[in-house]
Structure formats: structure tokens, C-alpha cells
């Protein structure tokens, strides 16, 4: 079997102009729905020539990195940290860390007041990206389509809060009947151009291709099904902005309805309380949307399965949002296990001299 070729393209963040193609070792890349992905790698510097190439282009905050596997784009993001090092044997290298392109929105803030009146929530999300990229120096080439969710929102955002754009997107998406978002990287089929695509999915990011079947024993090397009950709550209330209109009176926050899962209590669950803070929300309806979404998400223990498999069955980063069928017959499941899951994250480790390339998939129960 031919060993796949990985390489890292170093580009200018704003123009995407190619600066160099660098050798890297100890590479690991990850991407997710719902949180930022990352790249970690080492750039070996064996001689003066490589040092002179690396020094001027590994500039945190303004350098884009693209990971190619056999010429296909497998990851893209922004270099945030580059640490030059000399070890005890005199070998030089740079340790680099990068985040997926959505991390750029962590470093952009809303410095203008905006209001959306009965606007589709996906258009509000696009408006945030338009604001970030419409200011001088702010355009890093994020593209998007124009499909709608059919869910309209009314929202007001104050310049005095100076909220990061990513936080605005996450909060808009996190309410009842919200959506999912990420920035997906690929290469345009017609031109070969590298692309950064704002992917918006209502109610979830999903792909319609047929399920990929993963078997253990087989291509699945390891799997685990951790269950975490530390966040479970069957009684929930959200707090909003404080009412400071009367300076002489005690300041009291807006409170949502107290949501009690009566069925859980009837089924024998102990009462488990939870609460959340939304200090910028001063509308009771919006606060209720947050509370109901949070209560639904935390009603039961979180189970986040993960499988590590060989990359020989069409397993690529483009699996994110797709459904896989996990089948196992082993000591833990002597009668067999056969369940469908949606892929919400992937971590890829390229091959090394003594180990083949693998992918670890983070899963959730399929709808």
C-alpha cells in the first residue's frame, strides 16, 4: 500500500498567497462541530537554509496553514503560536499550534450596535461574519451560501458589550430551535482554489450520503463510550440581565420559568438543580429559549462515544456531519452492538515510521 503524502502549506492569512511548503513531524489535526479544532506539529530546522525559510513566515496571527493529504485539503486554520527551540543535542525546531479558521472570530469584537428584527437566524449569523469581514483588514475570505432555516429571531446587540463575534454566533445558535455552525475547508472542484466555507446547519449539520460501516474487530482499532453525569440537571432556571432602572431599589436579574422534569423525578431520578447566566439578555422570551434548550441538553448523562480506526474505508475529515454505523462483537458486547452515530469531530494522526495513520471519530447518537 502506498503511504499517503502529507504536507503543510504556509499562506498569508488575508490573501491566501502561498509562502512556502514546510516539512513537519509529529502532526495531529482535529476538527469539530461546536468547538474549535486545532493543529499541533513540529517544524524541524536541520540547517541554515531551512531556518532562513521558516523565520519570516511563521508569524502568529497572520499566517494560514493548510494540511494536504495526497493533494486533498484535510484541515485549514490560523497559526497562533510558534516556539523556536534548541534541544540538548543542538537540534533546532519550531513547535507550532494553530486553530481552525473559526478561531479568527474569537479575536473580532462587535464595536457597533446592531438590531435584527424578525430575521432568519442563519441570516443573522451571516451578518456577523459580514460585519467582521467588512471592516478594513478584516476579510480573510470566509464564504457562505444563502439557505434559510425558517426560524426568525429578533435580537439587539449593544456596542457597549464589545462581545466577541464567535460568542455572538454561539449564543444565537444555542437557543431552543437553534442551529449548528462551523467553518469547513475544502478545494473548489472547478478551479482547485482553497476555500473557507461558513457551514450553517438547521437544526444540525448533516450530510445525506449512505452510512459508512465501521466494524470491531476490523478497521476499528479501539472504541469507548464514556458517560458523564456531572452536568445532569432535571430542574433548570436561567438568569438574565439585572433591572437597574430604579437606582434606589435592589437590583434583581430577569429569571426564566423554573423548568422541572417531572417525568425524570417520577422515574426515580433524584432532584438535580442547574442554572445559567445570560447577563446581556433582557428579553423574557429570549431568556426562555435559552433555558429550554439548556434544560433539554442536560436532562440525561452525556455519552460521547469515540472510535479510533484505520484510514482505509473512506474515513476523511469530510465525515463531519455524516452518519456512521458502528458494529462490535467483543467481550463488552458478546451478543453484538449495532448503532448509528453522527460524526461531530475527527482527529487525524498521519503515519510515522512505526505506526500507520489513524483517525479518532467523536460521535453522538444519530437522530
- Report pLDDT for 251: 78
d(CA 313, CA 214): 8
- Report pLDDT for 248: 57
- Write down the pTM of the prediction: 0.92
Would the pLDDT of 122 be above 60? yes
Going from N- to C-terminal start, the domains of the chain cover 6-103, 108-201, 212-226+304-365, 235-297
Which of 82-96, 130-144, 165-179, 244-258 shows the lowest mean pLDDT across its residues?
244-258
- Report pLDDT for 247: 59
Q: Which residues, other chains included, contact 310 with Cβ-Cβ below 8 Å and sequence gap of 6+?
A: 219, 221, 356, 357, 358
| Alpha-carbon dihedral angle through residues 289, 295, 297, 298, given to the nearest 10 degrees | 160
Q: 115, exposed or middle or buried, with CB in 10 Å at 0-12, 13-18, 19+?
A: exposed
Looking at the domain that runs over 212-226+304-365, which CATH code has it been given?
Answer: 2.30.130
d(CA 233, CA 276): 11
Residue 2 pLDDT grade (very low, low, confident, very high; cuts 50, 70, 90): low
Return the CATH fold of 6-103. Phage tail proteins - horseshoe like beta roll fold (2.30.300)
pLDDT tens track for 220-276: 999 998 889 999 999 999 999 987 655 556 778 999 999 999 999 999 999 999 999
Would the pLDDT of 45 be above 70? yes
Over residues 137-141, the mean pLDDT reads: 98
Q: Single out the residue of 164, 163, 165, 123 nearest to residue 144, CA to CA.
A: 123
d(CA 11, CA 106): 20
- Report pLDDT for 303: 84
In DSSP terms, 86 is beta-bridged to 92
Looking at the domain that runs over 108-201, which CATH code has it been given?
Answer: 3.55.50
Residue 302 pLDDT grade (very low, low, confident, very high; cuts 50, 70, 90): confident
- Report pLDDT for 5: 81
Angle between helix 165-173 and 121-134 (nearest 10):
180
16 or 5, which is more confident: 16
Would the pLDDT of 285 be above 90? yes
pLDDT tens track for 68-103: 998 899 999 999 999 999 999 999 999 999 999 999
Amino acid at each position: 500500500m502506498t503511504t499517503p503524502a502529507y504536507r503543510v502549506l504556509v499562506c498569508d492569512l488575508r490573501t491566501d498567497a502561498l509562502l512556502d511548503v514546510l516539512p513537519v513531524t509529529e502532526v495531529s489535526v482535529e476538527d469539530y462541530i461546536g468547538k474549535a479544532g486545532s493543529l499541533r506539529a513540529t517544524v524541524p530546522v536541520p540547517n541554515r537554509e531551512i531556518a532562513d525559510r521558516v523565520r519570516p513566515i511563521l508569524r502568529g496571527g497572520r499566517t494560514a496553514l493548510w494540511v494536504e493529504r495526497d493533494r486533498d485539503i484535510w484541515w485549514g486554520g490560523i497559526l497562533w503560536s510558534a516556539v523556536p527551540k534548541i534541544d540538548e543535542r543542538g537540534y533546532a525546531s519550531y513547535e507550532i499550534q494553530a486553530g481552525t479558521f473559526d478561531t479568527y472570530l474569537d479575536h473580532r469584537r462587535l464595536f457597533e450596535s446592531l438590531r435584527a428584527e424578525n430575521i432568519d437566524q442563519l441570516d443573522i449569523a451571516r451578518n456577523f461574519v459580514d460585519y467582521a469581514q467588512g471592516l478594513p483588514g478584516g476579510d480573510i475570505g470566509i464564504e457562505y451560501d444563502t439557505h434559510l432555516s425558517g426560524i426568525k429571531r429578533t435580537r439587539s446587540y449593544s456596542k457597549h458589550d464589545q462581545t466577541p463575534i464567535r460568542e455572538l454566533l454561539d449564543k444565537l445558535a444555542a437557543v431552543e430551535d437553534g442551529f449548528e455552525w462551523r467553518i469547513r475547508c475544502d478545494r473548489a472542484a472547478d478551479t482547485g482554489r482553497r476555500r473557507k466555507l461558513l457551514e450553517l446547519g438547521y437544526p444540525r449539520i448533516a450530510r445525506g450520503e449512505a452510512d459508512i460501516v465501521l466494524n470491531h474487530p476490523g478497521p476499528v482499532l479501539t472504541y469507548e463510550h464514556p458517560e458523564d453525569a456531572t452536568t445532569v440537571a432535571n430542574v433548570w432556571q436561567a438568569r438574565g440581565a439585572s433591572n437597574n432602572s430604579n437606582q434606589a431599589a435592589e437590583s434583581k436579574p430577569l429569571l426564566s420559568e423554573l423548568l422541572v422534569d417531572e417525568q425524570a423525578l417520577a422515574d426515580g431520578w433524584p432532584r438535580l438543580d442547574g442554572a445559567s447566566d445570560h447577563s446581556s439578555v433582557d428579553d423574557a422570551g429570549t431568556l426562555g429559549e435559552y433555558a429550554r434548550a439548556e434544560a433539554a441538553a442536560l436532562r440525561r448523562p452525556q455519552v460521547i462515544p469515540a472510535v479510533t480506526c484505520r484510514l482505509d474505508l473512506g474515513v476523511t475529515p469530510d465525515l463531519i456531519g455524516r452518519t456512521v454505523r458502528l458494529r462490535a462483537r467483543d467481550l463488552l458486547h458478546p451478543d453484538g452492538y449495532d448503532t448509528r452515530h453522527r460524526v461531530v469531530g475527527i482527529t487525524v494522526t498521519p503515519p510515522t515510521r512505526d505506526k500507520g495513520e489513524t483517525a479518532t471519530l467523536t460521535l453522538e447518537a444519530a437522530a
